[in-house]
Amino acid sequence: MTNKTMTAAINEAIDQEMSRDDKVFVAGEDVRVGGPFGTEAGLHAKYGDKRILNTAISELALTGIGVGAAAVGLRPIIEIMIMDFVAVGMDQIVNQMAKMKYMLGGQATLPIVVTTHAGIDSSSAAQHSGSLEAWFCHVPGLKVVMPSNAYDAKGLLTASIRDDNPVIFISNKRCMASMMEVPDESYVVPLGVAEVKRSGSDVTVVALGRLVVDALTAADELAKEGISLEVVDPRTLSPMDMTTILASVKKTSRAVVAHEAVRNCGVGAEIAATIADEAFDFLDAPVKRVGAPFTPVPFAPALEKEYLPGAQEIIDAVRSLYS
Amino acid sequence: MDLSNADMLRMFEQMTRIREFDERAGLLMEQVKVHGSVHLYCGEEAIAVGVCEALNDDDYITSTHRGHGHLIAKGGDVDRMYAELFAKSTGYNGGKGGSMHMAALDLGIIGANGIVAAGLPIGLGVAFASQYQGNDRVTVCFFGDGATNEGAFHEAMNMAAILKAPMVFVCENNGYGEWSSAASTTSVADIVDRAASYGIAGAMVDGMDVAAVHEASIAAVARARSGAGPTLLECKTYRYYDHVGRDFGVLERDPDEIARWRARDPIKHWREVLIAHGVFDDNTADTITASIGADMERAIAKAEQAPDPHPDALYEDVYSESKV
């Protein structure tokens, strides 16, 4: 057990899986030099050109390398540097890797992980700040994973690499430097299993990615007023562990769903709708959603601050349940 | 080029098999007996056969929406192909893909594709896997002239050149992308000119002449297998029928243009070559063609009788069962 950043935890998961299984390789832009976030730091020196495949700035070819290589037996990790860039490679993700097993009548198995970095970070503006997880949760055939801390990141990435399905693994940029105790040895956090990050009795906050950190801050704050939050981190967004979420809502009778992505048609809308479907009789108040406003991500720090949902927005949403 | 009589005969049979398969597929689509869109390969048979005859059984191909010819040339079973067109559980994809998604991974056929040019990045990945695994398999990507205007073409060609990937990019230039002429959509008359911009080998052949396609393919496949990198092989050809089916009625083409190309029919031409070489005579050629036609009728009858997919199949194979 060592204190590690989420970046280091991700790097360790990739390294350990590459060492465990020689079918695992990484392809991406600038992965030779460790990638801009350092998630592949030191791996090229250890594994060489083929297993750390440095590609052109060609997200479509890069993602296609993953599909083709997986179809004939390898286990690619495809790094899309910034989540917004995924739009360039979208055909290979949505039309090819997601559908191939099904439309080929089960002939193909595609163990691919697409790793990417999402969210707002120091005025990166509208094309480098996106949280686009909802796009992928809408597509059958893909799994979608979004860790909120270093421990989960390592275990979920290990599980994703070992999984026989295409997995979109999304790291929030503002979580990358967060530190916590992480085991040095390899371990798995299973996909599709949520975790209650803080137990509480009054309101369930289902938070995604970085908003888990904010929800825990909000819980500390509201505890001072005698409102007890239960914070649930789905960790995997598709498939979503609604069992854990519904059990929490049935206990607390109130729910807030929070994510950094825009609120409209976000993953939170699906969670809120499912709570309404499955736990309506248990609710004492409407389900509230916290998310970014329906605008592109702005550049100016003053606007970015206004845009970004966080602890205060969660606190406001919780208070509105009692008004 | 030294082709044995047996080679020449097999190439005739394979081209005939493709023609007989697709002529019937077009008719079955009009009769609404097969489902969805069927894109016919008639007129282009010399390409699939000339290329695939230069491949080993364990080499790979990626195909297109106009893919029946590629599947047959790479060893596809017409019984399972017709069954797939009829959307039956005995089809290659269990009735869940249809014409545009037919694949046979065990034959190295990574799949037809409903997205133009999508097979190129996938083929790049397959070829990279061969380099990674240290085997000598070659990957051929078939695609049309229209695909060369897609970003996927550019990205895959550039990366294939950088990696010296063991690939052959086979462009079937039939003069039309869907319902638009290549002349109205493509900045070059000869697709092969695009090879130079990637610094890779390029070759242009008469796609109506199976021997010419075969000879160029042997050279390109050898180059790929030796580690010298990919080749862009442009085969000039013609789509006898419409983009979809035989006559979809959207595009009117000059009847003289169609007649000119049909006069150079690849199967008719090859049949004359074989007769001149004494491989067979007219009667034997007719008998072979009739026999292949009868095989198709049997395959169609069998497909019609085959069971539909079980309703449970709707939910199967969305995900792989993973034990992590």
Task: Reply yes or no: is the peptide bond before residue A239 cis, omega within 30 of 0.
Answer: yes
Joined together, the tokens standing for residue A140 give: 């059958």
Q: Nearest 5 degrees, angle CA A188-CA A189-CA A195?
A: 165
Q: Does residue B161 surpass a pLDDT of 70?
A: yes
Q: Does residue A203 surpass a pLDDT of 80?
A: yes
Residue A64 has its nearest CB partner, among B156, B317, B318, at B156
Query: Does the model's pTM come out above 0.90?
Result: yes
Number of other CB atoms surrounding residue B2 within 10 Å: 4
Contact between chains at B129 and A68 (C-beta distance less than 8 A): yes
A163 and A276 fall within a common domain: no
Q: Does residue B1 surpass a pLDDT of 80?
A: no
- For residue B139, the chain A residues in CB contact (below 8 A) are 68
Number of other CB atoms surrounding residue A193 within 10 Å: 15
pLDDT band at B289 (very low <50, low <70, confident <90, very high): very high
Domain boundary among A127, A158, A182: A182
Is residue A189 in some structural domain? no
Q: Which residues contact A301 (CB under 8 A, 6 or more apart)?
A: A123
pLDDT band at B154 (very low <50, low <70, confident <90, very high): very high
A99 and A216 fall within a common domain: no
Contact between chains at B132 and A163 (C-beta distance less than 8 A): no
- For residue A101, the chain B residues in CB contact (below 8 A) are 317-320
B321 has a chain A CB within 8 A of its CB: yes
Rounded to the nearest angstrom, the gap between the alpha carbon of residue A204 and the centroid of all alpha carbons in its chain is 20
Q: Does residue B322 surpass a pLDDT of 80?
A: no
Domain ranges within chain B, ordered by starting residue: 5-302
Encode pLDDT of A97-155 as tens digits: 999 999 999 999 999 999 999 999 989 999 999 999 999 999 999 999 999 999 999 99
Span A150-169, mean pLDDT? 98
Strand, coil or helix: B39: coil
Encode pLDDT of A16-65 as tens digits: 999 999 999 999 999 999 998 999 999 999 999 999 999 999 999 999 99
Contact between chains at A71 and B122 (C-beta distance less than 8 A): yes
B133 has a chain A CB within 8 A of its CB: yes
Q: Which residues contact A220 (CB under 8 A, 6 or more apart)?
A: none
Encode pLDDT of A179-191 as tens digits: 999 999 999 999 9
A214 and A159 fall within a common domain: no
d(CA A304, CA A295): 11
Instruction: Give the C-alpha distances (Å, rounded to integers) separating B271 from B10, B24, B159, B171.
Output: 12, 21, 40, 25
CATH code, domain carrying A155: 3.40.50.970
Q: What are phi and psi of B118, to 5 degrees?
A: -65, -25
Domain boundary among A182, A211, A239: A182
A26 and A137 fall within a common domain: yes
Instruction: Give the C-alpha distances (Å, rounded to integers) separating A312 from A88, A180, A290.
Output: 35, 24, 10
A112 and A224 fall within a common domain: no
d(CA A232, CA A211): 11
Residue A213: exposed, middle, or buried by beta-carbon count in 10 A (0-12, 13-18, 19+)?
buried
A176 and A234 fall within a common domain: no
- For residue B143, the chain A residues in CB contact (below 8 A) are none
Size of interface A-B (CB pairs under 8 A): 154
A42 and A147 fall within a common domain: yes
What's at B133, amino acid-wise? Q
A176 and A216 fall within a common domain: no
pLDDT band at B324 (very low <50, low <70, confident <90, very high): low
CA-wise closest residue to A75 among A122, A12, A18: A18
Contact between chains at B124 and A65 (C-beta distance less than 8 A): yes
Alpha-carbon torsion B204, B205, B206, B208, what sign? Answer: negative
Span B136-143, mean pLDDT? 98
Q: Does residue B323 surpass a pLDDT of 80?
A: no
Q: Does residue B104 surpass a pLDDT of 80?
A: yes
Which residues, in sequence order, are bridge partners of residue A265? none
Encode pLDDT of A206-257 as tens digits: 999 999 999 999 999 999 999 999 999 999 999 999 999 999 999 999 999 9
B169 has a chain A CB within 8 A of its CB: no
Domain encompassing residue A89: 2-182
- For residue A74, the chain B residues in CB contact (below 8 A) are 129, 132-133
Is residue A187 in some structural domain? no
Encode pLDDT of B66-89 as tens digits: 999 999 999 999 999 999 999 999
- Burial string for A26-55 (b: 16+ CB within 10 Å, else e) reads bbbbebbebbebebbbebbeebeeebbbbb
- Residues of A known to be catalytic: 59, 128
The chain-wide mean pLDDT, for chain B, equals 96
CB contact at 8 A, B92 and B106? no
CATH code, domain carrying A262: 3.40.50.920
Encode pLDDT of B109-127 as tens digits: 999 999 999 999 999 999 9
Total tally of structural domains belonging to chain A: 2
Q: Nearest 5 degrees, angle CA B63-CA A25-CA A176?
A: 120
Span B151-176, mean pLDDT? 98
Is residue A188 in some structural domain? no
pLDDT of residue B129: 98
Q: Does residue B281 surpass a pLDDT of 80?
A: yes
Strand, coil or helix: B236: strand
Span B94-118, mean pLDDT? 97
Q: What DSSP string runs through B60-103?
A: EEE--SS-HHHHHHTT--HHHHHHHHTT-TTSTTTTSS-GGG--
A35 and A63 fall within a common domain: yes
Domain boundary among A129, A159, A182: A182
Contact between chains at B158 and A108 (C-beta distance less than 8 A): no
Please report the residues numbered 213 through 272 in chain B whose beta carbons come closer than 8 angstroms to any beta carbon of chain A.
Answer: none
A90 and A210 fall within a common domain: no
CATH T-level fold of B5-302: Rossmann fold (3.40.50)
Span A144-168, mean pLDDT? 98
Joined together, the tokens standing for residue A295 give: 């605008």
pLDDT of residue B2: 82
Helix (H) or strand (E) holding A290: strand A288-292
